[in-house]
Copies of this chain bind each other. A is one copy, B any other.
């Protein structure tokens, strides 16, 4: 059996072009990591590996934590491999950063491992994750509801940014079961500590390991294989979709700082599945990434793609997804480009008729009924109330109007602020005024006093189009 495991490890390092590399081996002292360390120590000459052991003393279980550290130090000595034992105050870190204990433990451990990588000059951290860990991870993701990407589980090589360092987590034992690592340790007369990392498990992962998996095994004795097969086909399909997204990306995405712009035309006739993937990929590039992004966000973004200019969706981390004319923007609100052209001065509108303004083309028609139009740059008003003398200008300090539905007067500046219109847009938005005041903030709100009612005899339809 141990020969099979050895061969598997050799093939892993060869297939991933990792022979000859320098590795930080994360060793907790439990059977998985002790098995991994021993295997690597017996193979290091054959594979040209330079090993350095890293163990973090979490100070979470007092004497026992110290004893784990001593055990790893002793093992390192007997295998003649250099070791760094770190000290981490997880509880203090948790307090400062307000996270769960297991989040804090993971964070502190990765920061420590990144430091050791820096010290010895490598990017590779090798861990003893087994097939069991992978199956548990897949189930954890299913239970938490993380979508098809969550089915992928643990990968043999995972790039990871820790602090500002780009590292790679290497997992050579994903084809080996936990039971096999225990057997291996017995065969090699190694005496690992009972797996001291268990306390770092989330309560949910612990329940999955101890209760859910045994139940599922009772239903299907090959449940691990079933889940791993599901995982591998999901991974395969995702890889394909990711490739398709990469092609699409080159055609429709431009990025300027932290604003991502999508070309609307290029997205027509693209399958929704690909659009969803593209949106997720865009979000990944921005601060906050996919953290806190739920599928309803993606669905909302998807439907915004067919909405008229000016529509927006608020996303976590202050991000906004907004429809422009030919494009869609994703980014921090304050950084979104303004979709309105610069408009200087005040211009009379021809009513009815067409008026050409700098950057705008305005159509005014007298109509009999209002249409339900999904276009924020169209407004219907009572022609007899607004009259024929209308001007267009932009916001002036002191402007006030009666926003439709509010039932009160409001400062235009305050209205735009409350409507969360980005600051640098506000000076560009066309304001339509009659002799008795503002009748329409184009793209946003009509004035209550000119709305169409059952008494309206003639309706004026105004439409702004980009000139």
**Residues of A bordering B, CB below 8 Å:** 142-148, 150-151, 204, 207-208, 211-212, 215-216, 219-220, 222-223, 225-227, 229-230, 232-234, 236-241, 243, 271-274, 276, 295
Contact = CB atoms under 8 A, between A and B. Distances in A.
Contact of A273 (B239, B271, B295): B239
Given A144-B220, A219-B207, A272 B236 contact: yes
Contacts of A276: 233, 236
Given A148-B230, A229-B295, A240-B271, 18 more contacts: A142-B226, A142-B230, A143-B216, A143-B220, A143-B223, A143-B226, A144-B220, A145-B223, A148-B151, A148-B234, A151-B230, A207-B219, A211-B215, A212-B219, A237-B241, A239-B271, A240-B241, A240-B274
A350 to B, nearest CB: 44
A432 B150 CA distance: 57
A145 to B, nearest CB: 3
Copies of this chain, how many? 2
7 A-B pairs with least C-beta separation? A145-B226, A240-B273, A236-B273, A240-B271, A237-B273, A147-B233, A148-B233
Contacts of A211: 215
Of A142, A151, A237, A273, the most chain B CB neighbours within 10 A belong to: A237
B142 A142 contact: yes
Contacts of A147: 229-230, 233
Contacts of A215: 211-212, 215
A305 to B, nearest CB: 15
12 contacts: A142-B226, A143-B219, A143-B226, A144-B220, A145-B226, A145-B230, A148-B233, A148-B234, A212-B219, A233-B276, A233-B295, A234-B234
A393 to B, nearest CB: 45
A230 B216 CA distance: 19
Contacts of A233: 147-148, 276, 295
Interface centre among A148, A150, A208, A271 (most CB of B within 10 A): A148
